[in-house]
Structure 1
Amino acid sequence: MSLTADLPVGDLQFYDNYVPALAPGNWRITVGHTLAGVVTGDLGAIQNMVVSAPQFAIDTNAVLNQYPPAGSTGQYAQVLPHIVLNDALLPWERTMTGSSDNPWLALLVLGEDEIVGGTGSPTRAQAGTVASFLSADPAVLKPDITQEGDVADTDPCAFIQLSTTLFTALTPRLTELRFLAHCRQSNIADKAEQGLEANGLFSVVVGNRFPAAPAQGGPGAQKSIAHLVSLEGLEPYLVDQPDFGGFTSVALISLASWTFNTMADQLQDFRGLMENLVAQEYDGTTYTPDDLWLRLPEPSPAIDTGTPAGAEADRRLADGFVPTPYQFRTGEQTFAWYRGPCVPVLTMPLSDGTLLPTADAALIYQSAFGVFDASLATAWQTGRALALADRAFGQALYDFRQRGHQLTDSLLQRLQSDAFSADQIAGLSGNTLVQDEFLQFLTSDLPSAPGLAGAARPATGPLPAGAAPDLDQDPARDPDPARDPDPVTTVKNFLADPQAQALIADETQDALLPVATWLANLLLLYPVPFNLLVPDGRMLAPETLRFFYLDGNWLRALTDGALSIGMQSSRDSFFTEIMGDVIRQAATTAAQALRARRIGVDPPAAEAAENLVSGFLLRSAVVSGWPNLAVHGSVGGEDLRILRMDRLADDLLFCLFWGVPDCVEFAEPQEGFRFGVDDDGNVPVRQPLAGGSVPLGTQLATPLLLVPGSLRADGDNVLDVATAAQQIQGALSAARVAVDDFGPADFALQMVKSPEAIKFTSPTG
């Protein structure tokens, strides 16, 4: 199988299957060597080996997505449930008799009263061991499989039991299996970090039964149970009229299971959940976009803004502050304002010369009202505490400072010595551009630099033979009243020069890299406690979406606090102060590339017009129901770079954009396409081939009425897959589109129900 390279974000590629080159099981490698004329016999060796593949259980991390979502309630009567697996090979890792491209897995959709036993589990699955499952039972049919060498008798497994009648009614036929599993490839750049494969390849197993719904107009919901089962060893029974002999039930290994409820209520489907996020911001007839900012809701009763104190409190709350208890060092109790890094307004950046050497320096006192603003002080102390807790970062920061000090001393020694030429001084750097700038600095700027005037002369190389130095003209040997002999001042003036900083930054890149990488994680708030991001739960109630900007001042205080550790002298402090901009720029650059390194994908993205970071927090059941939710933030139709997107909890999604989007779109994941029919039982007929007169996937003709004509006759809402495939091929032929080998990918394209999406646009977007 040849994967599509550089698949665009939002696109999806279907593949029939992904069959491994070597089947699982016990293998023997025999190597022989015959020597001519040797009577003792052939020389050879035998090596036994086991090719491992899941057989009785799978890793829980292999399940990426389920539809309908586990525990959800929605209008699912027209969809075919499916499960998305993070392992693209899994459905074909075991071989079924008769065909190597038939999956060994099937997804069964069952009613609670259709499963035999297992009453102690929500999914009616029974727990046991491999040995107990395989043990013979005169009434229960067990699969005819060989236990692999790496599977112990005591290994746990889960299984379900179905009556033989129900087994025949529900299970896919052996000829239908290939249509119910396929592979999908999508770009993972718009997904939360979940350890996904960088190639974005997933496998999907689709059920063949529509979930049961309540009677028309009836109350409540109908519970369904989905089981991903193994059909290995049951091939003789996957036919229309199998012979079960004296068996009355069939035992099936259950590899994954979940429950969901089907009803006529749309509140728990994707569209209903997303629309409900905005519906809460309506007050009956009007909608205020301002209500989607991350801040406390308006207090009730409203604040009296007629007084200076009331107006100030109202402004603070609107700007995202919350009042929090505050205790003076004297023990007195009062309150202070606090605001985290996620703010609803743009903030005025601190001036470049602002120094925050301590938390107290970052504490703001509002003398007009006698109240402290502890936002930046909290950020500073948080950065320091996180840095002190990470020994590796402390060591990396120490190594960087030591490297900087050593380089400074070496440069100054060469500048103040006649033993080195300009070429030898500039030879400290391998960067040609830095060399050129620094040579210019040596020949022109250095003699006139404050505190360095006369401290060194630009050397021009060794003197000609027989020539004597002109001591009277040598400022390095001739005292000059303008010369500052103070070494501290000399070092400070040297470090303050931009060319010197550029050279030091260039030569300390290796030592700066781990420091910048750690600070990049800090700038993206990975280690920052959530209660500092959202200090009051009322700011992010259940089923809410809140947007924000990142406060650069808060991040500045956070990094200053982290860089404050390990100061051993004034020289350390001055070096950190002088190199602060270099360190922060390196951290910012690392932060822009951090997500690409973590997920292995760096998609093309629009460059941010301004050095701003924005984002959102989504707290909703849509996050738990669609863990692979796709998110796009764009400006003028071009996607912005996602700096971070993580699920902080089962129902909480956190996202940061490089820039400020004018549109944010939330969509069901491409690889999580639903299968099924519309409310009338129709499926669209889509262009299945690329390069035709219309684009791939375009609807070609009148929708095909698939249901009820393609259901099995027993009334269990089971799709007759073979008949459905034939009807779809007939509809394509009628539309004058011929598909030579109609396979699982073609069937998937025709049966998908396009994912839903909802867009939030700014008032100016």
Structure 2
Amino acid sequence: MKSWKDRQSIFSLAMPKPSVQTSALRQLNSGAENSVNNDSTLENAPPKDIVDWLAQLTLLQGVPFEYLVPYSALLPHESIRFFYIDENWQDRMVDGAISVGVSSTQDNMFNAAWYEALYAEVQAQRLKIRTDLRNQQASGSADSAISGFLFRSIVVEAWPGVEIIGKKDGTALPILRLDRLSSGVLLCLFAGVPDDVQFIEPGEGLHFGLLDGQVEGSSEVLVRGLGLPEDKPLKGGEQLTTSGSSDNYLTAPATFRSNNNEQEGVVNIQDLQGAIKSALSTYTTPDGYQPGLSALPEDGTVTSAAMAVQLVRGAGLMDYQTPSSAHKQDN
């Protein structure tokens, strides 16, 4: 177990006789770089398997779920819970794990003296667990603090390949663990504390399609800029807003063909082209700029390429951000 005593006092305790452990402990405590018996110090270094297991333990692998969520109401359906992991709690967990090998006072002294070196190896190894599995390079400068979230939602089951990005001051943080604990519960751990967490629909969700309109039974498309006109272009592929609100977008209604076979769901492309042209020609930006037909190609028509831009539906994104006031420091 970890001791809060002065390390120097540990070695004043009576020992039956000098041993390999004793000289290794004295070398570590005194900070000596070279020892007469350097090979025996290496021999007593913690095995890699143990370091790997302890690193996984600090990432909550093997910890019963009821220890994380002792009461089901703490994580109801369609909810997300962000949290920090107390480093002192992690220390005590490692203490308990290595205490099973203590059978004498000498073993206890060995654990006390080697604890900090062992935990440093555990801390370094937990940065590599996920990157090694993904054949990636681990970050050597990650924050020692660990935070994360538990997400319980139908989204976890419907999007098994959901992408998670956690950022702090615009820089992506390493993900230490991203696992589905069940079909509907996702656990994610970051190296550091993000101020912005993004949930992104899997990239294979990219497809062509329409959106449900505001009127029941109707359909529409979100009109996007085409990079025109040249002097003040509407950004290509960007959804066009009609007011200061980021949730109020320019739309064009979509209709469906009716034919003798009564096939449902066949889009009337000609009518849709006209609706998109009308929307762009009458569009006014929030700052009062009206590009008119110059927002379309030179002949003023909605080409097949322009239609593709309008109909493509990219991966959806849900963004969670902490209030800016949470990051203000007292002067």
Structure 2 CA distance for aligned equivalents of residues 737 and 687 of structure 1: 12
Structure 2 CA distance for aligned equivalents of residues 555 and 657 of structure 1: 15
Instruction: Give the one of 509, 532, 536 matched to 2:67.
Output: 532
Structure with the higher helix share, 1 or 2 = 2
Instruction: Give the one of 673, 680, 697 matched to 2:237.
Output: 697
Question: CA-to-partner distance for each residue in 1:718-741, whole Å, 9 max, x for gaps?
Answer: 3359x58x959x979982389xxx
User: 1:677 and 1:511, CA in 2 relative to 1: closer, same or farther beyond 3 A?
Assistant: same
Structure 2 CA distance for aligned equivalents of residues 588 and 756 of structure 1: 32
Structure 1 CA distance for aligned equivalents of residues 55 and 29 of structure 2: 25
Question: CA-to-partner distance for each residue in 1:557-582, whole Å, 9 max, x for gaps?
Answer: 22122223344655544333322111
> Which residue is equivalent to 1:550?
85
> Which residue is equivalent to 2:131?
596
Matched, 1:764 2:297: no
Equivalent AA in structure 2 for residue 759 of structure 1: Y
User: 1:737 and 1:662, CA in 2 relative to 1: closer, same or farther beyond 3 A?
Assistant: farther
Q: In 1, are the aligned partners of 2:205 and 2:314 still within 8 Å (CA)?
A: no
Q: CA deviation at 1:757?
A: 1.7
Please give the secondary structure, in 1, of the residue aligned with 2:326. Answer: coil
> Which residue is equivalent to 1:618?
151
Equivalent AA in structure 2 for residue 718 of structure 1: G
Structure 2 CA distance for aligned equivalents of residues 647 and 594 of structure 1: 16
Structure 1 CA distance for aligned equivalents of residues 24 and 136 of structure 2: 44
Matched, 1:663 2:313: no
Matched, 1:576 2:115: no
> Which residue is equivalent to 1:253?
none
> Which residue is equivalent to 1:652?
185
Q: For structure 2, which runs of at least 5 residues remain unmatched after alignment?
A: 6-10, 214-218, 228-232, 243-249, 281-293
> Which residue is equivalent to 1:499?
32
Structure 2 CA distance for aligned equivalents of residues 631 and 695 of structure 1: 26
Structure 2 CA distance for aligned equivalents of residues 523 and 754 of structure 1: 33
Where do residues 454-533 of structure 1 align in structure 2 (5 Å cutoff)? 487=18, 492-500=25-33, 507=42, 512-533=47-68
Q: In 2, are the aligned partners of 1:712 and 1:720 still within 8 Å (CA)?
A: no
> Which residue is equivalent to 1:735?
296
> Which residue is equivalent to 2:220?
681
Where do residues 117-196 of structure 1 align in structure 2 (5 Å cutoff)? none
Q: CA deviation at 1:629?
A: 3.1
Q: In 2, are the aligned partners of 1:683 and 1:706 still within 8 Å (CA)?
A: no
Structure 2 CA distance for aligned equivalents of residues 606 and 749 of structure 1: 43
User: 1:578 and 1:621, CA in 2 relative to 1: closer, same or farther beyond 3 A?
Assistant: same
Q: Which structure's CA Rg is the greater one?
A: 1
Equivalent AA in structure 2 for residue 757 of structure 1: M
Question: CA-to-partner distance for each residue in 1:525-577, whole Å, 9 max, x for gaps?
Answer: 11111112222223223333222211222222221222233446555443333
Q: CA deviation at 1:588?
A: 0.9
Matched, 1:560 2:95: yes
Q: In 2, are the aligned partners of 1:630 and 1:668 still within 8 Å (CA)?
A: yes
Please give the secondary structure, in 2, of the residue aligned with 1:494. Answer: helix
User: 1:541 and 1:734, CA in 2 relative to 1: closer, same or farther beyond 3 A?
Assistant: closer
Q: In 2, are the aligned partners of 1:685 and 1:701 still within 8 Å (CA)?
A: no
Where do residues 160-239 of structure 1 align in structure 2 (5 Å cutoff)? none
User: 1:501 and 1:599, CA in 2 relative to 1: closer, same or farther beyond 3 A?
Assistant: farther
> Which residue is equivalent to 2:316?
755
Equivalent AA in structure 1 for residue 181 of structure 2: L
Aligned sequence identity (%)? 28
Structure 2 CA distance for aligned equivalents of residues 596 and 635 of structure 1: 20
Q: For structure 1, which runs of at least 5 residues remain unmatched after alignment?
A: 1-349, 356-449, 452-483
If the length of structure 1 is used for normalisation, what is the TM-score? 0.31
Q: CA deviation at 1:590?
A: 1.0
Please give the secondary structure, in 2, of the residue aligned with 1:532. Answer: helix
User: 1:558 and 1:642, CA in 2 relative to 1: closer, same or farther beyond 3 A?
Assistant: same
Equivalent AA in structure 1 for residue 129 of structure 2: L
Structure 2 CA distance for aligned equivalents of residues 675 and 646 of structure 1: 30
Please give the secondary structure, in 2, of the residue aligned with 1:564. Answer: helix
Structure 1 CA distance for aligned equivalents of residues 89 and 40 of structure 2: 25
Structure 2 CA distance for aligned equivalents of residues 641 and 621 of structure 1: 25
Matched, 1:353 2:3: yes
**Aligned length, in residue pairs:** 277
User: 1:598 and 1:571, CA in 2 relative to 1: closer, same or farther beyond 3 A?
Assistant: same
Structure 1 CA distance for aligned equivalents of residues 41 and 320 of structure 2: 44
Structure 2 CA distance for aligned equivalents of residues 589 and 595 of structure 1: 12
Q: CA deviation at 1:615?
A: 1.6
Structure 2 CA distance for aligned equivalents of residues 687 and 509 of structure 1: 66
Structure 2 CA distance for aligned equivalents of residues 644 and 560 of structure 1: 22
Equivalent AA in structure 2 for residue 752 of structure 1: R
Please give the secondary structure, in 1, of the residue aligned with 2:150. Answer: strand
Structure 2 CA distance for aligned equivalents of residues 708 and 505 of structure 1: 80
Question: Which has the higher relative contact order, 1 or 2, with Cα contacts under 8 A spaced 6 or more apart?
Answer: 1
User: 1:560 and 1:607, CA in 2 relative to 1: closer, same or farther beyond 3 A?
Assistant: closer
Q: In 2, are the aligned partners of 1:684 and 1:701 still within 8 Å (CA)?
A: no
Equivalent AA in structure 1 for residue 111 of structure 2: T
Q: In 2, are the aligned partners of 1:545 and 1:619 still within 8 Å (CA)?
A: yes
Q: In 2, are the aligned partners of 1:544 and 1:620 still within 8 Å (CA)?
A: yes
Please give the secondary structure, in 1, of the residue aligned with 2:254. Answer: coil
Question: CA-to-partner distance for each residue in 1:698-746, whole Å, 9 max, x for gaps?
Answer: 358997857226x46344333359x58x959x979982389xxx79xx9
User: 1:511 and 1:486, CA in 2 relative to 1: closer, same or farther beyond 3 A?
Assistant: closer
Q: CA deviation at 1:650?
A: 1.8
Q: CA deviation at 1:752?
A: 0.9
Where do residues 261-410 of structure 1 align in structure 2 (5 Å cutoff)? 353-354=3-4
Structure 2 CA distance for aligned equivalents of residues 617 and 700 of structure 1: 34
User: 1:519 and 1:603, CA in 2 relative to 1: closer, same or farther beyond 3 A?
Assistant: closer
User: 1:514 and 1:491, CA in 2 relative to 1: closer, same or farther beyond 3 A?
Assistant: closer
Q: In 1, are the aligned partners of 2:223 and 2:251 still within 8 Å (CA)?
A: yes
Equivalent AA in structure 2 for residue 577 of structure 1: A
Matched, 1:718 2:265: yes
Structure 1 CA distance for aligned equivalents of residues 175 and 40 of structure 2: 28
Structure 2 CA distance for aligned equivalents of residues 632 and 665 of structure 1: 5
Q: CA deviation at 1:600?
A: 3.8
